[in-house]
A and B are shown apart, each in its own frame.
Chain A
Amino acid sequence: MLRIENLHVRAGNRDILRGVNLSIDIGQVHAIMGPNGSGKSTLARVLAGHPEYAVTGGTVAYRGQDLLAMDPEMRAREGVFMAFQYPVEIPGVNNAYFLKSALNALRKHRGEEELDAMDFMTLVRDRMKWLDMDETLLNRAVNEGFSGGEKKRNEIFQMAVLEPALAILDETDSGLDIDALRIVARGVNAMRGPDRAILLVTHYQRLLNYIVPDVVHVLTDGRIVRSGGKELALELEEKGYVWLEQAV
């Protein structure tokens, strides 16, 4: 589903990714772990198409298409979803309106009929239950005045409504207390399936207790230095990233 080859990325005049190789098959959950500043979030944001990064080398194929040639909105419509590490507050834009328009933009792109208000609400109520969300959040402006945890939950809720083919979760666990983490993980696990790939970007192993990955990668200094099964995360937790940095 996703094949990243020798990806080099620069922000400003700093090389952040220095030859990333990564392949994710449909149906799989991969986790990328790494210390602060290793380039994990950059990788997530580059895949979503953030304009502040310059790709200086390499390729990214998504379902056989050149992902890097697509605008961010086209990636979204083609089924790529990134849950933001820092979800943006958008005052004045109603959450329900925003989500309905986003969903219908995707459906329109796929040649499907737009959902009417009734069907949309049925879907939304169902997904809100997954995430234990208060329905009043729908009538507020997107993320405005949300607590850190509410914002993260709202990201996963959006994912659950938009049903992407490739979901990239950028440090969704950061800033969550243990109860919120469980709820978010429940939402993500509900989304696991044979038609979807999920890429978890995280600093801590903690999240992986709840969302068990098929493959774990370790990113340090802009390169993937180790890949393995879920045990790799436990080993990292025990020995720290220094262990790997020394090993390289």
Chain B
Amino acid sequence: MATMLDSYVAEAERAASAGRQGDPTWLMETRRHALERFTALGFPTTREEEWRFTSLAPIAERRFVLAKNGASALRPQDLDPLRLPGTTAATLVFANGRYVPAASDIRGLPPGVRIDSLGVAMSQPASAIEKHLTRAASADRHAFTALNTAFLLDGAFLSVPDGIQVETPIQFVFLAIGDEPETVAHPRVLVVMGAGSKASIVESYSGAHASPYFTNTVTELFAGEDATLNHYKLQQESAACAHIGAMYVRAARNSTVTCHSISLGGSLVRNEVIVVMDGEGAECTLNGLYFGDGRTLVDNHTTIDHARPHCTSREVYKGILADHARAVFNGKIIVRPDAQKTDAKQTNKALLLSEDAQINTKPELEIFANDVKCTHGAAIGQMDEEAIFYLRARGFGEHEARRMLIQAFAGDVLSRIPIGTLGARLDQELMRRLPGEHR
């Protein structure tokens, strides 16, 4: 185990020193501190409550090496299926976590909006970055966030100034590319939304590798006062992927933040969303849909921290599990002592398509205020055979009836995606992955 950690340390030190001579001191210090934390923490084990049902052996027992800059291997057709339907304000493309300017397009952005590769932005004296980077995603307690930060070389940076509304979506495409086995990339995203600003961001992850690879992402989103932020994470990695993603959100006063997490690929998947409601009157919506088949493990951990009064949160997570797939859902809602008038509602549902599929689900409510409204509900079930018979009795074939019910189950989440035909496309993608469908 120690030798595996050592190899990450050696690589991180090498990458950092070979990276940029001009890196500012704060950045070098940030990386060094994160590496120390990672070494001290090590990979979590199932003895830790937060990882009780999720064995990281597929990551911890392999020696993943930092993926090479994949820009030269990137073909335009790799991107075609990932492009959003309709117009986008900007598209940033990353191959193995490194920015590919040639494949990116930022011409549709309104003036004043800043978008860049983090690699470039970090090396400039830019207080916006230093003020925000790692401020939501602390490396202190989370080993994977520490590891990502230790390898902080590049990523996506977006800053929307006060009062600027970006109406068309902005897309960050992260592709795992190349044919080397056992590689890792550490994609990073930083979004800073000014007061009263608005943006929709689609962050997509995919890869075509047939051999094991590891994606370790960290996203930090800062929504300023009265800002509106819609975020979509689309995880469509190949079946060989271990995908560990952590997203940290800070929602300021009266901001409205909506995060959708659609997780369709990967073999070992952990999606963490940690939202801190940092100002009165903030509203947060988390919508999740995940699918697992084969021997996949999909783990979704969400935390909504009601740190201030009068905040509202709504959360709906739905999972579809086939074959021997396993899932974990853990939804934590914290209501701090002075967060009176909190209104929080959480629902999670799972549809098990096979007898061998299973889910461990746990709502975790920690309520320290007394004048609050918090509800949660979980429902886990198999296909409703009476509903299938009902549909068949009206002339639908059995296969079609099952698809209709699955589609209806997922549609509850997918229909909430207001970006052109994206919801329909994800629906097709899900249908294609179902057992019994041609792949």
Contact = CB atoms under 8 A, between A and B. Distances in A.
Interface residues of A, number: 29
A81 B401 CA distance: 17
A223 to B, nearest CB: 26
Nearest to A108: B395
Contacts of A51: 385, 389
Contact of A88 (B386, B396, B404, B407): B386
Contact of B395 (A77, A87, A89, A90): A77
B351 to A, nearest CB: 11
Contacts of A50: 389
Contacts of B389: 49-51, 72, 88
A93 interface: yes
Contact of B394 (A71, A91, A92, A158): A158
A195 interface: no
Interface string B379-392: 00000111101111
Given A71-B398, A73-B398, A90 B391 contact: yes
A73 B390 contact: no
Contacts of B401: 73
B181 interface: no
A195 to B, nearest CB: 19
A51 B385 CA distance: 9
Interface in B341-399: 384-387, 389-398
A48 interface: yes
Contacts of A93: 404-405, 408
A72 to B, nearest CB: 4
B43 interface: no
A158 B396 CA distance: 14
Contacts, number: 66
B390 A88 contact: yes
B409 interface: yes
B412 interface: yes
A152 B412 CA distance: 26
Contact of B390 (A81, A87, A101, A141): A87
B390 A92 contact: no
Contacts of B394: 76, 98, 102, 105, 158, 162
Given A88-B386, A88-B390, A73 B408 contact: no
20 contacts: A49-B392, A71-B392, A73-B395, A73-B397, A75-B393, A76-B392, A77-B395, A84-B390, A87-B390, A88-B386, A90-B391, A90-B404, A90-B405, A90-B408, A91-B408, A91-B412, A92-B409, A92-B411, A141-B408, A162-B395
The 9 closest A-B pairs by CB, nearest first: A92-B408, A76-B395, A72-B392, A105-B395, A88-B390, A102-B394, A73-B392, A93-B408, A88-B387
Interface of A: 48-51, 71-73, 75-77, 81-82, 84, 87-93, 98, 101-102, 105-106, 109, 141, 158, 162
Interface of B: 384-387, 389-398, 401, 404-405, 407-409, 411-412
